[in-house]
Amino acid sequence: MDLPILWLSAAGMAVITAWLLQRGSKMKTLTDAGIVLFLLAMMASMFVSAVVYLYYPSFVALFALVALNMVGMGVGIVPIFVALTKGDKQLDETRVGRRVSSRAIVVATIVALALLSEAFMGWTFAIISGAASTTSESALSALVYSMSTYWFIFTMAGEMAVTLYLVGRNFPTIFRWLVAIQIFVMVLSPTALASPAWSTETLIGNSAVMIVAVIVVLEFLFRNRTPASGASNYMLRLIGAYALMMAGLFLWLLNGDVWLFVLSVVAEMTIYFGIVLNEKSLTSPPLVNWQTSPVWAFCLLGGIFIAEFFMGGVLDIIASGTSYFTTLPFVALSGSVLTVLGASLYDFVIAVGSITASTWFLVMMGIEMGALVVFKIKYARETETKMRLVLMLAAYAIYAVWLPAFVFSADLANVPWIGWSMGIGTAGALSPGIPLLALVLTYVISGGISFLFGSRNVCSILCTAAPMYQGTTYDAMSSFNRTSTIGRHNLTSKAPDSFRIVSALVWVSLLGSAALSYLTSIGVINVAFFGEDISYFFYSFYFSLLWYLIWILTPFVGSYGCVTTGMCGWGTFNGLVSRLGMFRLKVKDNDTCVKCETKDCAKVCPTGQTDLPGQFIDTGEFRSFKCIGVGDCVTACPYENIYFFDVRNWVRTKLHKTLPPMKTPVKQSVSAPLDLRLLKDSG
């Protein structure tokens, strides 16, 4: 059969399926459901029969398949027959207890039949066109392969586009964009065409579109803290499908397996069909505040990280080839139980760190998280906060990515401050001469800046973690400081026992590993962790693995867990120097803090400094090693009474320059988390 005829047939079936889905979205009675189910069952049985006949072409098989189709149509017409004989009934949309509503059952059946029909239609056309064989591979392998080709992929994309045209006007605007993004992701499937150029270009395009999808979802959540449960569940499932898709593409690039990618396509289509048939769920009650749903927020962050992780892996393969991963120094899991556990930890850290510390992962993360920071710049009130956020983005691009990856990549150990940007272990083994001097100078330079300007130079500007916590939606997650068990434990500027213990263990490991690394480099001893420099291994463990785990666990540990738990040795060093240095928060008038009824400054602090008002009242200033100068408290103050004090202000006081006057207070209380838009609109 000619390809144009096959394409016309596929396009026609896609239009018919889209029309049936439109009918399904409007169905109210058993008769409505019966018509849709009957036609979909007929289409599905037709293509299933076609595939079976192509595998076993005989008159007996044809006769049996015709009989099977008649039985299938008979089953599909049962709901219509029941409606005609016993009276039509309204579909029940209400779920009581564990009982599933009749509409939910019908919707699930429609989705299953639509997917079955499309899968076997793609399989049929793939066999007829010669893209799939009935003899050279198992039937299951042929089905999976055909679902990775354009016969399935492009047909489904066309079906989605037609469906969006037919029912899209019923969606809120933001969800029309999201379903349009789903269509783009489907079209940009690298497996659809057997062309290296197509694969490379679509992998990059696919990654870019998914980044846009994540940004759209997160910004929607920032603007809508209490969406309909149907909307929040749709977005969570969509992120999950994209995580599965990027994992599937990563696996496909490594060894050619397409089954996981195909599974992700089926998941995405299931989500899409489900929302088309239940568009009312996007706006209908119940409404759920995601800031009071830590499990949901945890799943969202986990899905985003998995999608970003494998997206970074895909980009690494595009840039460096599969050898980037196939040549990793994994060790065999053999020997004693202790050896196997150590080897497992080593292999896991190496595998995860190979991506999370890679240039392209950082570039992709910077684009995604940076977009949310740009939105926050628009909402910020103080010029200093705006400037700090701009500087943070510039520092991420230049200091965290461009300089170490493209300028000093081969000589990082000899470059202070940039090469050792996270302290001990950053650039590898510690050895005599220039590397040791570079590490010492790093602590001197960074400590000097922290003494003059505060540890915000690290935690709020230079650290790669800063954009991940300070974008709009992630900033709003500071509400978990007050609702999570660990977050509540870490409130106030005082260090709890857990912080002291964790930070002590971290520093013992860092100093001990640095000593062992140095002694090994000069030949006194020979200590390594499965062949890896021990100081670099600890660096990789803390910043390529544990940091991301704490970030995902934000709903349970609170925001900026790297600061509040004490796990970041680089942060605790700069925080201690900052506490002893010139940086602090000050108020223009203590009495204003006494009269303040809202205490909003304490509510919005991303590191949980709840004793801000008390120290302001007592001393007129606030100093803490956990204060990283984000500035949300400055923005939240309705009297504009709080300001930063560092070496610049010290110089101003010596020059006898006065502070700007206080302003009329904003007549509202800003509840945690801080909604910067409200402050801007009212200020």
DSSP for 145-194 reads HHTTSHHHHHHHHHHHHHHHHHHGGGS-HHHHHHHHHHHHHHHT-TTSSS
**Contact criterion met (CB below 8 Å) for 315 and 360:** yes
Q: Which of 161-165, 343-347, 655-659 has the lowest mean pLDDT?
A: 655-659
DSSP H stretches of helix in 256-320:
259-277, 294-320
Whether the pLDDT of residue 329 is over 80: the answer is yes
pLDDT of residue 95: 61
Whether the pLDDT of residue 683 is over 50: the answer is no
**Contact criterion met (CB below 8 Å) for 362 and 353:** no
The torsion angle over the Cα atoms of residues 415, 419, 424 and 430, rounded to 10 degrees, is -50
Whether the pLDDT of residue 674 is over 60: the answer is no
CB-based burial of residue 377 (10 Å sphere; 0-12 exposed, 13-18 middle, 19+ buried)?
middle
Nearest to 492 by CA among 439, 571, 564: 564
| Residue 279 DSSP one-character state | G
Nearest to 626 by CA among 566, 557, 543, 674: 566
What's the token pair of residue 286? Answer: 């119940």
pLDDT in tens, 270-299: 999 999 998 888 998 889 999 999 999 999
pLDDT of residue 291: 94
pLDDT of residue 34: 83
Phi, psi angle pair for 585, to nearest 5°: -100, 135
Residues 113-122, mean pLDDT to the nearest whole number: 92
Whether the pLDDT of residue 612 is over 80: the answer is yes
Sign of torsion over alpha carbons 238, 239, 240, 243: positive
pLDDT of residue 189: 95
Cα–Cα dist 390/118, whole Å: 48
DSSP-derived 3-state class of residue 388: helix
- Residue 405 CB contacts under 8 Å (≥ 6 apart), including other chains: 359, 362
Distances from the Cα of 539 to the Cαs of 440, 457, 546, 567, in angstroms?
17, 20, 10, 11
Residues 493-499, mean pLDDT to the nearest whole number: 90
pLDDT of residue 83: 63
In what helix (H) or strand (E) does residue 32 lie, and over which residues does it extend? helix 30-55
Whether the pLDDT of residue 38 is over 90: the answer is no
CA-based radius of gyration for the chain = 30
Length of the chain: 683
Residues 631-645, mean pLDDT to the nearest whole number: 91
pLDDT averaged over the chain?
A: 89
DSSP-derived 3-state class of residue 180: helix
Nearest to 518 by CA among 441, 446, 433: 433
Distances from the Cα of 592 to the Cαs of 26, 521, 588, 678, in angstroms?
59, 59, 9, 21
pLDDT of residue 390: 95
pLDDT in tens, 55-77: 888 776 676 777 767 766 666 67
Nearest to 51 by CA among 186, 153, 151: 151
Residues 624-647, mean pLDDT to the nearest whole number: 92
Per-residue confidence band for 653, with pLDDT thresholds at 50, 70 and 90: confident
pLDDT in tens, 93-116: 766 555 677 888 889 999 999 999
- Residue 308 CB contacts under 8 Å (≥ 6 apart), including other chains: 214, 361, 364, 365, 368
pLDDT of residue 677: 36
Phi, psi angle pair for 452, to nearest 5°: -85, -40
Whether the pLDDT of residue 670 is over 60: the answer is no
Phi, psi angle pair for 594, to nearest 5°: -65, -45
Q: Which of 84-93, 176-185, 332-341, 347-356 has the lowest mean pLDDT?
A: 84-93
pLDDT in tens, 358-395: 999 999 999 999 999 999 998 888 888 999 999 999 99
Q: Which of 5-14, 183-192, 561-570 has the lowest mean pLDDT?
A: 5-14
Residues 458-483, mean pLDDT to the nearest whole number: 93
Whether the pLDDT of residue 679 is over 60: the answer is no
Whether the pLDDT of residue 86 is over 70: the answer is no
Query: DSSP letters along 467-499, please?
Result: HHHHSHHHHHGGGHHHHSHHHHHT-SSSPPHHH
Whether the pLDDT of residue 564 is over 70: the answer is yes
